[in-house]
Amino acid sequence: MDSAKKSGGVKRKHRALSIAEKVEVLKKLDSSVSVRTICETYSIGSSTVYDIKKQKEKLLKFFSDNMVKSPERNACTGSDEDESSEENEEDVRDRISIDRLITLTTELLAGLEQRSFVSEQEIMNVFLLQDKLIRERPKYMKQQTLPDIFKKIARKQEEATVVSTLDNPLPSTSRQVEAVPVAEDVVTVSDKDDNPDSPSAV
């Protein structure tokens, strides 16, 4: 019988595993799961499992170097908190913020809509990308603590006082009431009729 055929005489479909799936296979092999169970779980042949096992070091190195870490894995836990938090701060400084990306996509959309050689489908793709950024934004927002909130309020109050002193560059300690201009030459119709002392009534 051909090795690519199952007992039923039907050819087995070839299935390519992703790097993450191959790492999962390696973890299962390390935890003493049988090769047969792995073959059935992933719909792969036993030779594929052995090939993955031979390339264990390469796969693990590639996986650790190139796979994007999920936000859950970046969380600080345990005694390594100080070391990992410093590393995370450096990573955050290097990355472009989501707010900046949203601004860039807004500008890009405005520019693309002005060009006739850009199709509506391409513009829609950028719009969908911007929509995804907007939906993902809350996940990356930093939660403010009470001291941060109070500092922000104090900073806004300081800015407000700076603006008010710019309006009046020489503030005085006593309050001066500014004179309001009064129009004395204006005479209303009701003043003429009601006032017998007025010169027009004589």
Domain boundary residue, one of 69, 84, 102: 69
Q: Is residue 64 part of a domain?
A: yes
Q: What are phi and psi for residue 196, nearest 5 degrees?
A: -75, -15
Same domain for 48 and 103, yes or no, is no
Count of the separate structural domains present in the chain? 2
Q: Is residue 4 part of a domain?
A: yes
Q: Is residue 200 part of a domain?
A: no
Q: Is residue 148 part of a domain?
A: no
Interhelix angle 19-30/56-66, nearest 10 degrees:
130
Distance CA 71, CA 87 (A): 14
Domain that holds residue 60: 1-69
Predicted confidence at residue 71, as pLDDT, reads 45
Same domain for 65 and 6, yes or no, is yes
Same domain for 54 and 118, yes or no, is no
Cβ partners under 8 Å of residue 23, min gap 6: 59, 60, 63
43, 53 Cβ separation under 8 angstroms: no
Same domain for 29 and 60, yes or no, is yes
Q: Is residue 28 part of a domain?
A: yes
Q: Is residue 74 part of a domain?
A: no
Q: Is residue 155 part of a domain?
A: no
pLDDT in tens, 46-70: 888 889 889 888 888 777 776 645 4
Same domain for 1 and 54, yes or no, is yes
Same domain for 2 and 65, yes or no, is yes
Tell which wins on pLDDT, 3 or 129: 129
Per-residue pLDDT band for 1 (boundaries 50, 70, 90) equals: very low
pLDDT in tens, 101-117: 888 889 988 888 888 88
